[in-house]
Amino acid sequence: MKLRWSSFRCAFSGVLFLLKTQNHARWHALISGLVIIFAGWLQVSKMEWLILLGMMALVWVTETLNTAIEQTCDAITLEMNPMIGRAKDLAAGAVLIAALSACVIGALILAPRLWLFLFGQPR
């Protein structure tokens, strides 16, 4: 099977567009980096790594799809349309649900280890 580099170029172009144009994506990048640093420093287990990386991926996927939906809606019309507004709100809501879930799960995994590091006793 021949590898199609143009497909990868298009995908990377999309990720670059996401990071250049979406403020929330830059926040996701910062927080993802911090989670990776803290998880490595606090020596989480392989299973916890899988969970953390899976949640980060979920946030990135929803943010990317949200941006794709917004771009598509804006290409259709820039006029106020309640159905397009609802579609954009739903897509943004999906990102919110994913991000809040990731925060809770990240805190459940990282907070006890951080507490133990800072105070030397289990919470």
Whole-angstrom Cα distance, residue 85 to residue 87?
A: 5
Q: Indicate if 63 belongs to the active site.
A: yes
Q: Shortest CA distance to 109 belongs to which of 65, 62, 49, 59?
A: 49
97 sits in which H/E element: helix 82-119
Q: How many CB atoms lie within 10 A of CB 89?
A: 10
Q: Which of 48, 63, 70, 79 is catalytic?
A: 63
Helices and strands of the chain, counted as H and E runs: 4, 0
Whole-angstrom Cα distance, residue 18 to residue 12?
A: 10
Just list the catalytic residues: 63
